[in-house]
Amino acid sequence: MKLLTIDDSRTIRRVISGIGAMLGYEVLEAENGEVGLKVLEQSSHEVGLVLLDWNMPGMIGLDVLKAIKRDPRWQHIPVMMVTTEGEKDYIVKSIQAGACHYQTKPFTQEEMASRIMEAMGMGGV
* Count of other CB atoms within 10 angstroms of residue 11: 8
Q: From the CB of 105, what's the least distance to another protein, in Å? A: 5
- Helices 88-97 + 61-70 axis angle, to 10: 20
Q: Which is nearer to another protein, 73 or 125 (CB)?
A: 125
Q: Which is nearer to another protein, 43 or 124 (CB)?
A: 124
Give, in order, the Cα–Cα distances in Å from 101 to each of 42, 56, 80, 115.
24, 19, 5, 8
Q: From the CB of 35, what's the least distance to another protein, in Å? A: 16
Distance separating alpha carbons of residues 86 and 119, to the nearest angstrom:
19
Q: From the CB of 78, what's the least distance to another protein, in Å? A: 23
Q: Which is nearer to another protein, 78 or 94 (CB)?
A: 94
Q: What is the contact surface with another protein in residues (CB under 8 A)?
A: 8-12, 14-15, 18, 55, 57, 83-87, 104-108, 111
